[in-house]
Amino acid sequence: MKIAVFVKLVPDSAATFTVDNGQPNWGDAPLVINPWDEYAVEAALALTEEHGGEVVAVSLGGENAKEALKHALAMGSSEAVLVSDDALAGLDAAGAARVMAAVVQKIGDVDLAVFGKSSIDSDHGMSSAMVARVLGWPSLSLVAAVQSAGDTITVERSMEEGRQVVESPLPATMSVVKDFGEPRYPSFMGIRKASKAEIPLWSLSDLGIEVPTAAVTRSEIMAPPKREVTNEIIKGGSPEEIAATLADKIIAEGVL
């Protein structure tokens, strides 16, 4: 199998988001591989270990996006590709999907394009389905396990109601949830190999596509108004007295 797995560099989940002069600011939080994408890499590696093949890690972004690719290489991916172009700035999800679909086509003979469930910065969770739409492939979402793979693939989808077993022809796209299994830690040798890896850079012209027009733009970014919250501990001689005082305060505040 040849699998393309898409990874992204995002601010650490502990980062505090603010808006400064109309621009988003993550402070000095470190950038890390999107946590959901680690599960996608794990799924891709597990499939190639069972069925043979190779995993190509792909990221869209600037030079720093190589860090996410190096993490995927350290985990065991065979190759990595960075798609970087000034024209990608301000691209919306639909435009990014067209770029990612072009990457899959340029790699060639891809059986499966794998994504994490979502990214923790934008969190729309639609990349897998959007890329499938552009390519004309089936889309398998919320995959928690792969039962079999060959000319077709059978997966278990994790849903609120339980598990759903779905079979699909290949090629297809797939988004992976954490139920798939704990991602492996990069090995020492993997880290050394990744640090020396030459990661090719593809531009939009290399992909043979024009700059996708963003259908969605942000007219303004603003921080929500701060709420002043105060706490008061109600005391009384008995639970009944405390409850009566609490009820009076709730009524006075207009909550009830």
pLDDT at residue number 97:
94
CA 22, 28, 32, 35 dihedral sign is: negative
Q: How far apart are CA 138 and CA 169, in angstroms?
A: 8
Domains, the chain: 2-207 (3.40.50.620)
Element (H, E) at 146: strand 139-149
Each residue of 84-116: pLDDT tens digit?
998 888 788 889 999 999 999 999 999 999 999
Question: Is the whole-model pTM more than 0.85?
Answer: no
pLDDT less than 70: residues of the chain: none
